[in-house]
Amino acid sequence: MHLFQYREGSLFAEDVSIIDLASTYGTPLYVYSAGTLERHYRAFDSAFGKAAHLTCFSVKACSNIHILKLLGSLGAGVDIVSGGELHRALLAGIPGRRIVYSGVGKRPDEIRSALEADILMFNVESLQELRTIEEVAASMGTTARVSLRINPDVDPHTHPYISTGLQKNKFGIEMTQALEGYMLARDLPHIDPIGIDCHIGSQLTSLSPFLEALDKVLEFREHLSILGLDISYLDLGGGLGITYGEETPPHPRDFGRAVLERTKGLNLTLVLEPGRVIAGNAGILVTEVLYTKTTPSKQFVIVDAAMNDLVRPSLYASYHRIAEVLPHGRTEQTVDVVGPICESGDFLARDRVLPAVEQGELLAVFSAGAYGFSMSSQYNSRPRAAEVLVRGDTAKSIRRRETYDDLTALEG
């Protein structure tokens, strides 16, 4: 459920007209709904009821500090994967004890910054990383809380680029080596192994891969308990899918019910890392039609948003619903919606059936709140889009549009 709805034939974000926003802030433009973000966060977090848990929003999905502040005010923690994301989280006022640090390539300086912030724990991805964390913690005279990320070799049945739980993926530690890792962690003087972590992928539309991985991790935790390791945190990662088109992903309450049933009585604090399921349908990308073009084999709608603004269609061949901001009821036609980038792979949609549009009209690209702006770039020296956050009848600029001077500001 989201708060982008048509009123009297025109698209609104909550109580603000998208036409008015485009007139004020220009296009391409990312528009987020604060009410939708709050609704999605509460729907996910409440699915775990009174059980001990921490919902850590995945910063990589949507990293604007205004959105992190909003979620933090609701009690959210964050899952980070870089020193830059740590910087953002701290600027947004997220307490260190509500931060978990994932990712396969943490640098020593990033580890040091995280220890200085007293984060809850590192999700460790390799034994070499574990030893590096020990070295940094020892040099600081402190102890690092860690969780080892288990690779359960479970197929999440999602796009291969966002699958993370198979043995061929770069993420996590294979079970046998993970056991060695926990024995090492137990003996390292500046390491405190408090958790176990498992994240198998993104945009999952079935609970069965989650539960298969969870069963393997709980069995592994029981083995650690026999060996004298008391694991008190279970990090299940994120990955719950959303509806882009025809998908029917499970509701967070069904996910929560299934997880709580399996972990009941185990004296565990659950850590969840949702990103897409909170932010995905809370944002749209607004773009203006620059030209229409017909060739002997194709009809093109050329818009001012491109793969540098929203790379998912080009990178993953992903589907985003596209609709007129002000529908005119014209005859439908099959078109490619493309941008100005000098790449044949620059498209927002291919062979899409849309009503005929004209130069100067606005289109909305839905489900763009996750991995939209956060994956954008300045390719072709295109300034990045502006971001606006709407609450009720009020719109707030949360990131101004970049200028040409911004493109060269670091090259002096």
| Rounded distance between C-alpha atoms, residue 132 and residue 146, angstroms | 12
pLDDT in tens, 180-204: 999 999 999 999 999 999 887 767 7
Does pLDDT of 166 surpass 60? no
Q: What is the mean pLDDT of residues 321-331?
A: 97
Our separate counts of H helices and E strands in the chain read 12, 21
Q: How confident is the model at residue 205 (pLDDT cuts 50, 70, 90)?
A: confident
**In the predicted structure, residue 287 carries a pLDDT above the cut 90:** yes
- pLDDT reading at 26 higher than 50: yes
Residue-level length of the chain: 412
How sure is the predictor about 163, in pLDDT bands with cuts at 50, 70 and 90?
very low
The answer to the question of whether 172 is labelled as a binding residue is no
Confidence bin at 170 (pLDDT 50/70/90): low
Please indicate if the annotation marks 274 as binding a ligand.
Answer: yes
CA distance 148 to 221: 11
96 is in an annotated binding site: no
Q: What is the mean pLDDT of residues 301-321?
A: 96
Q: Is 98 annotated as belonging to a binding site?
A: no
Please indicate if the annotation marks 265 as binding a ligand. no
Q: Is 275 a known ligand-binding residue?
A: yes
What is the pLDDT averaged over residues 113-126? 97
pLDDT tens digit sequence for 36-87: 999 999 999 999 999 999 999 999 999 999 999 999 999 999 999 999 999 9
Domain edges within the chain = 4-32+280-408, 34-276
Reply yes or no on whether the pLDDT at 165 is more than 70.
Answer: no
Can you give the pLDDT at residue 158? 46
Per-residue pLDDT at 402 exceeds 90: yes
Mean pLDDT value across the chain = 93
| 34-276 placed in CATH 3.20.20.10 | yes
pLDDT at 237 (0 to 100):
87
**Secondary structure of residue 148 in the 3-state scheme:** strand
What distance, in Å, lies between the first and last C-alpha atoms of the chain? 47
Q: Is 273 annotated as a binding residue?
A: yes
How far is residue 99's CA from residue 104's CA, in Å, rounded to a whole number? 17
Lowest mean pLDDT among 1-10, 147-156, 245-254, 261-270: 147-156
Q: What is the pLDDT of residue 206?
A: 81
**Mean pLDDT, residues 209-232 taken together:** 89
Q: How far is CA 258 from CA 220, 223, 261, 323, in A?
A: 19, 22, 5, 36
Q: Tell me, what's the pLDDT at 162?
A: 40
pLDDT reported for residue 41:
97
pLDDT tens figures, 262-280: 999 999 999 999 999 999 9
Is the pLDDT at 171 greater than 70? The verdict is no
Q: What pLDDT does 245 receive?
A: 85
pLDDT digit string, tens, across residues 140-156: 999 999 999 998 776 55
Q: Which of 56, 62, 198, 342 is catalytic?
A: 342
62 part of the active site: no
For domain 4-32+280-408, the CATH class is: mainly beta
Angle at the Cα of 46 from the Cα atoms of 236 and 37, rounded to 5 degrees: 90
